[in-house]
Amino acid sequence: MGLLSGKATCNTHGQDSSYFLGWQEYEKNPYDEVQNPTGIIQMGLAENQALVEFMSEIRGNKVTFDTSKIVLTAGATSANETLMFCLAEPGEAFLLPTPYYPGFDRDLKWRTGVEIVPIQCTSLNGFQITETAIEEAYQLAQKRHLKVKGVLVTNPSNPLGTTMSRNELNLLVNIITEKNIHLISDEIYSGTVFSSPGFVSIMEILKDRNCENTQVWNRVHIVYSLSKDLGLPGFRVGAIYSNDDMVVAAATKMSSFGLVSSQTQYLLSALLSDKKFTQNYISENKKRLKQRHRKLVSGLEKAGISCLKSNAGLFCWVDMRHLLRSNTFEAEMELWKKIVYDVKLNISPGSSCHCTEPGWFRVCFANMSEDTLKLSMQRLKAFVDSITTTLHNQSNHQSIKNSRRRSLTKWVFRLSFDDRVTGER
C-alpha cells in the first residue's frame, strides 16, 4: 500500500456512485455460457481477450496474460502517465536508462510532477545497463533528496533499437527486489524484433525465477500499445498490464480520461481475433523491417558512418562522432542543424534523448518508401564527402600552421639561445 500513490489509494474518484454499481456487480459475477450461465451479461464493454492473446503471440506464447489484469488506455503515452499517477507522488522519482525516448519528459513528468533521474549508459558496452550505473543514479536521486519509486525501461529500446539481454533483465529484478521499488517495462516495440537475439519480456524472467505471487511480481508493470507493432498510432490503443489489483483498479478509474472508443475496440477485437491475419502481418512486418534496416546500414556504411548493432525497432542509433568539430554538445547541435537545414533530413540528436556522449543520432528507416530512403542516403553521403574534405583541408591547414609555428618556435628558441650563448661568451 505504501508503495502506491495517494491518488491510487484514496477514495475520491466517485466510484461509489450507483452509476458504477452495475460494472462492479458484473466483475463479481460475470456471465459465462458454460461456467456461469446465470451471471450478469456485460453489454457495455468490448473484451480485452483479443489483445492479451495478441500480446502472448508476440512473446512466442512463452507467457500468457490475464484479461482481468489489463487496463486499456489511449496509447502508451496515457499508459505511462497513468502508471506515474498510480505509483508516485509529485516530487518522487523514476530512474531511466539513457538514451531514452524524448516523449518521456512529457509523459512521465509534466502533469504528474514526477522526476526522472538518468541511469547513464555509454557506448563502451553498447549502452547496456550496469549495476554500477543504476547504483550511481540511485545515489544521485538521494543526493537530490528524491525518493526513488522505480525504474522504467523500454524493451526493445527507443532510440537504440536493441533488445535487453537476460542479464540486464535479471539485474533489474535484483535491484527492484533489493530496493523495494517498482519496475515498468515499456514493451511497445516487442513485435518489431527482426533478428536475433529474440525478444525476452520481463514477464518471462519473472516466470523463470518463480516470482509469481511474490511482492516483486506485484511491482512489475508492462506498458503496451498497437501504435508500433500494428502501425496504428492514430487509433490510440494502449494498455497497462499489472499483477497488482490495486494498480489495476486505480488505473481503471483513471482511464476515464483516456478511453479507447467502443467503436475502435469493436473493430480491433475483430482484427486481432483473426489469428491468420495477425501472424502474417507480424512476420511480414519483421521481414520488411529487416530488409529496410539492412538498406539503411549499408547506405550509412557507404557514407563512412557506422551505427550500434541493433535487432529491433524502426530506427538505428547512428554514430557521427567523427563528423563533429569538437567533442561537445554544441558541435552536435551544429552538425544537426546542418543535416536538418542544409541536407534536409530530419533526424534526432542524441542530446534530445539525454545521451551523455555527443555525436549520436537516431535515424528512422521505416516511415518512407525505399526510393526516399535511397535519396536520403545519397544526400547524406554527399554531405559527409563535403564535410570530410573541409575537415581534411582544415586539419591540413592546421598542421601546416602547426609546423610553421614549430619552425618559428625553433627559430625564436635558436635565436634566443644563440643570443644567450653569445652573451655568455
Quick one: which of 21, 20, 42, 45 has its CA closest to 31?
A: 42
Pairing of strands 93-97, 182-186: unpaired
Minimal distance, residue 158 CB to ligand PLP, in Å? 4
Strand partners, 95: 117, 151
Catalytic residue (choose from 70, 119, 129, 186) = 186
Q: What is the CA 109 to chain-centroid distance, rounded?
A: 15
At a CB cut-off of 8 Å and minimum separation 6, what does 17 contact?
none
Minimal distance, residue 322 CB to ligand PLP, in Å? 28
Minimal distance, residue 68 CB to ligand PLP, in Å? 22
Catalytic residue (choose from 188, 222, 305, 387) = 188
Closer residue to ligand PLP in complex, CB, 30/231 = 231
Closer residue to ligand PLP in complex, CB, 65/383 = 65
Closer residue to ligand PLP in complex, CB, 227/278 = 227
Minimal distance, residue 225 CB to ligand PLP, in Å? 3
Q: Which residues bind ligand PLP (CB under 6 A)?
A: 75-77, 101, 103, 154, 158, 186, 188, 225, 227, 233, 238
Using the Cα atoms of residue 403, residue 409, residue 413 and residue 415 in order, give the sign of their dihedral: positive
Minimal distance, residue 71 CB to ligand PLP, in Å? 14
Catalytic residue (choose from 138, 184, 202, 228) = 228
Helix (H, G, I), strand (E, B) or coil at 60: coil
Angle at 180 between CA 175 and CA 182, to 5 degrees: 80
The residue sitting closest to ligand PLP, measured at its beta carbon, is 75
Closer residue to ligand PLP in complex, CB, 229/357 = 229
Give a three-class secondary structure readout of 116-185.
Answer: EEEECCCHHHCCCCCHHHHHHHHHHHHHCCCCEEEEEEECCCCCCCCCCCHHHHHHHHHHHHHHCCEEEE
Strand partners, 152: 184
Quick one: which of 327, 325, 335, 334 has its CA closest to 358?
A: 327
Minimal distance, residue 142 CB to ligand PLP, in Å? 27
d(CA 230, CA 285): 9
Length of the chain in residues, anyone? 425
d(CA 233, CA 238): 9
Catalytic residue (choose from 101, 138, 189, 224) = 101
101 is known as an active-site residue:
yes
CB-based burial label for 229 (10 Å; 0-12, 13-18, 19+): buried
Minimal distance, residue 313 CB to ligand PLP, in Å? 8
Closer residue to ligand PLP in complex, CB, 14/103 = 103
Closer residue to ligand PLP in complex, CB, 156/359 = 156
d(CA 210, CA 152): 22
Q: What is the CA 174 to chain-centroid distance, rounded?
A: 21
Closer residue to ligand PLP in complex, CB, 186/244 = 186
Cell of 265: 475496440
Give the catalytic positions in this structure: 101, 186, 188, 228
